[in-house]
Amino acid sequence: MADFYTQFSCIFDVGTAENAARAEMIRGEFAAELDRDEGETLGFDMEVDHESDPGALWIHSDEYGSPEHVIRFVLRCAADLKLGGFWGFSWSHSCSKPRIDAFGGGAHVLDLGASATIADIDCSNFVYEQLARAEGDIRIAASEGKGGQP
C-alpha cells in the first residue's frame, strides 16, 4: 500500500508578538470550526519562530497537510489583524511508492489587504493544460497548412 503526502514549510510574518498570540487563538478557533462543521482535522502545524522574528509563524506539514486550510487561516489572520501586502507559499505532493499522478505540487499567492488570490498553480493541472494547448496548436497549424500533425 502506498502513502500519499502533502508537505510544506513556510513563514507567515504577522508583525508582532501580540499578533502572533492572536494568530494562535485564530488557529485554535479555526481548528474547532473545522472539526465541528466539516469533521476535519486542521491540516497544518504552526509555531512562533522566535529565531526569525517575534511575529514570524512557521506553518508546516510533515505528511498530510492541507494547503486550503493554510490559505483560509492566513486570510482570517490578515482580516483580523488588518494585514496588507502579499504572501505566498508552495507545497509538494509525493508518494511512498511510484504511482502515476501521485507526484506534483502547487503554489498560491495572496493579496492580504484585498483578501484575494493573485495567482495559483497546480503542477499536475499545469502539465495537462500545456499538453492540451500544444496538441491544439499543432491541430490549428495543420488546419492552416503550416505543418504539424493532425
**Residues with Cβ within 8 Å of residue 99, at least 6 apart in sequence:** 2
Retrieve residue 97's grid coordinates. 511508492
Provide the H-helix boundaries in 2-122: 17-33, 67-81
The answer on pLDDT for 150 being more than 60 is: no
pLDDT by residue (tens digit) across 56-75? 999 999 999 999 999 999 99
Instruction: Specify the pLDDT at position 101.
Output: 83
Q: What is the pTM of this model?
A: 0.86
DSSP state of 38: I
C-alpha cell at 138: 499543432
Grid coordinates belonging to 22: 492572536
pLDDT reported for residue 135: 82
What are the pLDDT digits (tens) for 114-147? 999 999 999 988 988 888 888 877 766 666 665 5
Which domains occur in the chain, in start order?
4-121 (3.30.70)
